[in-house]
Amino acid sequence: MPDGRKLLLAGTPVATDPERMSGSKRVVDTFLRILPGMAGLEPERIAFVVDGLRSHLYQDETLAIAEGTYFDLMRRYFMGKARGAAYEVLDMQPAFVRHYQAHGQRFDWPHDYHWNALAHSLCADAVARSRLLSLTVGDAGAARERDTPTTGA
């Protein structure tokens, strides 16, 4: 394994051993199954915003290193299962990659890697375009939200 794949974030191993993957998939499956009952909402009324692999998306080479890691595989598994169960999934990685390639601006604070205002602004834009917002406030309300500029970018 190349040095860049030993650790991904916060010292968490990126290993994809079968036992770890199997257990993690069971957790995802259970979570998605029980969430509607716990939330009192149908899956169609729940949306997930899924972060990108931010520590790796700033360069094509580092993004390639992250492919096939535990986080990448579980991220894709979660999104696929959620979509298959009728949840809406807003994957931020494509938006982050496009924006970074166009503007060269990072999406996190350098001291702790939490989202900065730009990441939150792009997320707000994704939510404004979401199916769930249209269901909640109607198409006219969703269009109004899409046309309202977000702040902090």
- Does position 56 have pLDDT exceeding 70, yes or no? yes
What pLDDT is attached to residue 148?
58
* Whole-number average pLDDT of the chain: 86
Task: Specify if 153 maps to a domain.
Answer: no
Task: Specify if 44 maps to a domain.
Answer: yes
- Does position 153 have pLDDT exceeding 80, yes or no? no
**Is residue 4 very low, low, confident or very high in pLDDT (cuts 50, 70, 90)?**
very low
Query: Hey, what long-range contacts does 58-63 have (CB within 8 A, 24 or more apart)?
Result: 58/100, 58/106, 62/4, 63/97
DSSP conformational letter for 148: S
Whole-angstrom distance, CA of residue 109 vs CA of residue 99: 16
- Residue 72 belongs to domain spanning: 3-147
Task: Specify if 75 maps to a domain.
Answer: yes
- Does position 12 have pLDDT exceeding 70, yes or no? no
Task: Specify if 13 maps to a domain.
Answer: yes
Task: Specify if 152 maps to a domain.
Answer: no
96, amino acid identity: F
Q: What is the pLDDT of residues 92-104, one digit of tens each?
A: 999 999 999 999 9
Q: What is the pLDDT of residues 76-91, one digit of tens each?
A: 999 999 999 999 999 9
Task: Specify if 89 maps to a domain.
Answer: yes
What pLDDT is attached to residue 98?
97
Rounded to 5 degrees, φ, ψ at 12 are -85, 125
Whole-angstrom distance, CA of residue 49 vs CA of residue 80: 13
